[in-house]
Amino acid sequence: MQEVPNHPFRKKKLRITDYIMPVLLFLCAIISVFTTIGIVYTLFSESIAFFNEVSLVDFFTGTKWAPLIAPTSFGVLPLLAGTFMVTIIASLIALPIGLATAIYLSEYASPKVTKIVKPVLEVLAGVPTIVYGYFALSFIAPVIQGLIPGAGMFSALSAGIAVGIMIIPMVSSLSEDAMRAVPKSLRHGAYALGATRLEVALQVVVPAALSGIISSFVLAFSRAIGETMIVTIAAGATPQMTGNPLDSIQTMTAYIVQVSLGDTPHGSLAYGSIFAVGLTLFVITFGLNIVASAIAKRFREVY
């Protein structure tokens, strides 16, 4: 067959495309970098002004948070306690259910079932968080009140359950992707040795996909820490040091929403506390992402 000679215009068009596309991609990368730098600069610059008036020791060791009521107090520990309580409750719900779902979809479900379950999980992941918040307030909280007399309408437990439901798709989807990346030859070898399907799933597939699974856990944990609307609606607005999940609490994100409504004067100490709390939250989530990356490298299996 006779080859069709390349047209000069086509060659010129390819040369222009090869020149423009790398530039466009580079600009997109630069925009993301400068956006991150801008966020970090804003947090640090505003936080420095706040910490010029409030001691770092008082901020991170104080057990009372009352920035809007005299006498003011800026101990962030109640907000940290509320944030981690909600996150732990959410993790206790989402991690086992999400991992079990991933194991089922990867090792047990037929293609027909997978085609049904996967879109449902994707829809669950696409539900706005404010809907989860009102779901917690109008359904989960009344159920808890019916099961546990004396429970309040606003509690860390109802907010934690709603956040846990929200992050289940993240855990299941990422974990399933990691499991499906495990070569079939490992499964076939285990079956040839007489292993059952459950043994293959738990003793072969899960260990082989451990880096991806742990990364999904840490990312889901980070997502739960940064959740805003659910805890703002369902957890209450009572910053306190408590170990009772039935109590009303306040998280860092919920406080930021409360003060950002416009009633706090710009430039005031209470306004600056928004950025101090935001910087604390940023450092925590940044640290968790570093941990996730280190764990993924530590347990990564290359086939």
pLDDT at 95: 92
pLDDT at 299: 66
Q: Residue 264 carries which side chain, given as an amino acid letter? A: T
pLDDT at 1: 46
Contact predicate 160/141, CB 8 Å: no
**Helix H segments across the chain?**
8-51, 56-61, 77-103, 111-126, 129-135, 141-147, 156-180, 184-192, 197-200, 206-208, 210-225, 229-234, 252-259, 269-299
Query: Chunked in runs of 10, what are the mean pLDDT values of the chain (303 residues)?
Result: 52 64 84 88 87 87 83 87 93 92 88 85 84 91 88 89 92 88 86 86 87 86 88 87 87 86 74 88 86 74 59
pLDDT at 11: 56
pLDDT at 83: 92
pLDDT at 26: 85
Side-chain-side CA neighbours of residue 208 (13 Å): 22
Q: What are phi and psi of 74, to 5 degrees?
A: -125, 50
**β-bridge partners, 66:** 73
Contact predicate 82/230, CB 8 Å: no
Q: Residue 174 carries which side chain, given as an amino acid letter? A: L
- The helix (H) or strand (E) run that includes residue 68 is none
pLDDT at 10: 56
pTM of the model: 0.85
Contact predicate 10/233, CB 8 Å: no
